[in-house]
């Protein structure tokens, strides 16, 4: 029997009157994940801020194909849950008037065809195909067959085989708070061949036509209802895509999609801004932001998804961390790692004037404060973070009074090692090169000593205490754009001259 292409689920982008429309289709709540990626790609939210994108999420055709193939069972189950009424209404006309042919018409077809126990007992595993249409959208084709059983009074059991599918149009709007909402603006079901067979007893052609018409009418209506229900259920997950994500007690972040995605032959690019908040106040970039596009050949060509990160992405990340005082640290002589360093006798071994003023060794308290925003530079295989904190040292007197000892300005470059794990981008910092020390003020002697005598001392404090604390705070990581039940696997990150790119595959977990 000739195979009929039953349905195409078409994602189309249409600009009309300033509104952005899309079309898409699928099954029930269980197959939400089948469409999550398509919805993620096609969601549109008007810009909430004027800053250009800092991130580009590039989804390959292989990713969409994988998303569909992994959801075959869910799609199969969705079609199998469609209810079909058992009674077919039919006026008493034509061949069946006054008894009809063979005298059986009145018994079988009065005002209604008496069907009993009609139900879908099996759905063939769908065949799914994905195709990108440049500058338009994504076309997903779904073909399946639905097997139905029923009983006709005075005739017996019958079997019905119907090809089924759906084409629906999806439009994405937004709430007042900027969350995406999916709406079905149009829907059309497609029914292919419908075959009716019995257990050896032939049916009158008119009865077969009535049964076919009934199945066609019911499935045409219920398939679209199922699709609409799926999109309503998907809105909760879409809200989490751009929802606020907590990084620490006072630090949060949120992704915003300022423009519609761009569809190419092999991939879709989605621009996203990231907005950080400290104590619920938005952190702005210190020098403004620059536009960013991801080169066509960026990342691993064999990966399902490539995410590009501009310098502004990292500037925002470290600026937010600095604003939340993540680069500040208070160290006392009780510190397990560097407590032995925080004594006037140790500092006096480098600067004799300190020992002259404090002949009895006293504990020292140290405050490291970064008041200026970090400077971030991307180089080939390197991400450098330049910071210039000042270090205040105080002597703790026997009566617990605090006396200022000295303030040292420290300039240093930190090398950021990037890693992706558990859907988060993480950075670990280490010292790159020597520390640049300048004595800002002293409370001992004339303060004419060369600050370089403290280079080794300060390096030990930074490596054994300061950076350890910073890296512990940074280990929480920054969430990457994603939806529930989606895992990033086989992650690889590369740092280029003007951007960093994360290449990964996707894994869906129910």
List the pLDDT tens digit at each of the 510 positions of the chain: 334 444 443 333 332 333 323 333 344 444 444 444 444 444 433 333 434 568 898 989 898 888 777 777 777 888 888 888 876 655 444 444 333 333 344 344 444 567 788 889 999 998 877 778 787 667 777 788 999 998 887 778 889 999 988 877 665 556 666 565 666 677 778 888 899 888 666 677 778 888 888 888 888 888 777 767 767 776 777 667 666 778 877 898 888 877 778 888 899 888 888 889 998 888 887 777 778 899 999 999 999 999 999 999 999 999 999 999 999 999 999 999 999 999 999 999 999 999 999 999 999 999 999 999 999 999 888 999 999 999 999 999 999 999 999 999 999 999 999 999 888 999 999 999 999 999 999 998 776 778 889 999 999 999 999 999 999 999 999 999 887 788 899 999 999 988 999 999 998 887
Neighbours of 475 (CB within 10 A): 13
Domains of the chain in start order, with CATH, are 7-76+126-149+156-241 (no CATH), 284-508 (3.15.20.10)
- Averaged confidence pLDDT in the chain: 79
Longest distance between any two alpha carbons in the chain, whole Å: 125
Of 123, 122, 119, 79, give the one whose Cα is nearest residue 229: 79
Residue 24's SS3 state is coil
Measuring CA to CA, how many Å separate 297 from each of 262, 293, 294? 16, 12, 8
Of 7, 123, 27, give the one whose Cα is nearest residue 71: 27
Give the model confidence (pLDDT) of 194-249 as tens digits: 998 886 666 777 788 888 888 888 888 887 777 677 677 767 776 676 667 788 77
Please report which helix (H) or strand (E) contains residue 217, including its range.
Answer: helix 205-241
Q: Where are the alpha helices (DSSP H) in 81-202?
A: 105-108
- pTM as predicted: 0.77
Give 297's contacts (C-beta < 8 A, 6+ positions apart): none
Give 452's contacts (C-beta < 8 A, 6+ positions apart): 437
- Structural tokens at position 141: 């084709």
| pLDDT confidence of residue 414 | 97
Give the model confidence (pLDDT) of 426-475 as tens digits: 999 999 999 999 999 999 877 677 888 999 999 999 999 999 999 999 99
Alpha-carbon gap, residue 108 to 105, rounded angstroms: 5
The answer to whether residues 484 and 256 touch, using CB atoms and an 8 Å cutoff, is: no
Please report which helix (H) or strand (E) contains residue 118, including its range.
Answer: strand 112-123
Alpha-carbon gap, residue 55 to 290, rounded angstroms: 11
3-state secondary structure 270-331: EEEEEEEEECCEEECCCCCCCCCCCCCCCCCCCCCEEEEECHHHHHHHHHHHHHCCCCCEEE
Alpha-carbon gap, residue 316 to 15, rounded angstroms: 32
- Rounded to the nearest 10 degrees, how much is the dihedral formed by the CA atoms of 297, 298, 300, 302? -40
Burial class (CB in 10 A: 0-12, 13-18, 19+), 275: buried
DSSP 343: B
Residue 225's SS3 state is helix
Alpha-carbon gap, residue 298 to 294, rounded angstroms: 7
Please report which helix (H) or strand (E) contains residue 33, including its range.
Answer: helix 32-42
- Structural tokens at position 353: 């004037």
Backbone dihedral angles phi then psi of residue 97, each to the nearest 5 degrees:
-65, 135
């Amino acid at each position: 029997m000739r195979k009929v292409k039953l349905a195409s689920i078409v994602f189309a982008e249409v600009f009309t009157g300033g509104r952005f429309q899309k079309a898409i289709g699928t099954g029930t709540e269980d197959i939400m994940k089948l469409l999550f990626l398509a919805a993620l790609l096609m969601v549109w939210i008007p810009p909430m801020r004027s800053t250009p994108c800092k991130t580009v999420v590039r989804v390959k055709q292989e990713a969409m194909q994988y998303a569909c193939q992994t959801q075959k069972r869910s799609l199969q189950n969705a079609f199998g849950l469609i209810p079909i009424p058992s009674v077919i209404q039919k006026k008493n006309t034509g061949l069946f008037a006054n008894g009809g042919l063979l005298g059986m018409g009145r018994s079988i077809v009065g005002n209604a065809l008496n069907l009993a126990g009609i139900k879908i007992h099996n759905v063939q595993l769908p065949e799914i195909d994905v195709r990108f249409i440049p500058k338009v959208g994504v076309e997903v084709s779904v073909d399946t067959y639905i097997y139905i059983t029923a009983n006709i009074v005075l005739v017996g059991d019958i079997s019905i085989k119907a090809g089924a599918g759906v084409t629906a149009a999806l439009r994405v709007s937004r709430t007042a708070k900027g969350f995406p909402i999916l709406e079905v603006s149009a829907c059309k079901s497609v029914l292919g061949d419908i075959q009716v067979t019995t257990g050896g007893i032939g049916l009158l052609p008119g009865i077969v036509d009535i049964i076919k018409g009934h199945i066609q009418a019911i499935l045409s209506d219920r398939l679209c209802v199922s699709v609409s229900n799926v999109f309503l259920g998907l809105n909760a997950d879409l809200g989490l895509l751009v929802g606020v994500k907590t990084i620490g007690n006072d630090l949060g972040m949120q992704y915003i999609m300022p423009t519609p995605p761009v569809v190419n032959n092999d991939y879709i690019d989605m621009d996203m801004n990231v907005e950080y908040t400290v104590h619920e106040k938005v952190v702005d970039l210190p020098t403004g932001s620059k536009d960013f596009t991801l080169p066509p050949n960026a990342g691993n060509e064999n990966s399902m998804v490539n995410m590009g990160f501009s310098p502004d992405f990292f500037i925002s990340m470290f600026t937010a961390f600095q604003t939340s005082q993540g680069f500040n640290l208070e160290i006392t002589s009780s510190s397990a790692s560097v407590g032995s360093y925080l004594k006037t006798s140790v500092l006096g071994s480098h600067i004799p004037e300190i020992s002259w003023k404090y002949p009895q060794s006293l504990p020292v308290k140290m405050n490291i404060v970064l008041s200026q925003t970090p400077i971030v530079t991307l180089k080939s295989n390197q991400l450098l973070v330049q910071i210039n904190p000042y270090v205040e040292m105080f002597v703790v007197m026997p009566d617990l009074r605090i006396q200022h000892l000295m303030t040292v300005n420290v300039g240093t470059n930190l090398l950021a090692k990037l890693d992706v794990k558990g859907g988060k981008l993480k950075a670990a910092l280490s010292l790159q090169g020597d520390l640049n020390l300048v004595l800002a003020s002293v409370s001992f002697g004339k303060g004419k000593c060369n600050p370089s005598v403290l280079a080794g001392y300060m390096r030990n404090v930074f490596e054994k205490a300061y950076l350890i604390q910073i890296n512990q705070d940074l280990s929480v990581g920054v969430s990457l754009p994603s939806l529930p039940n989606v895992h990033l696997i086989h992650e690889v990150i590369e740092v280029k001259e003007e951007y960093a790119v994360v290449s990964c595959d996707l894994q869906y977990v129910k």
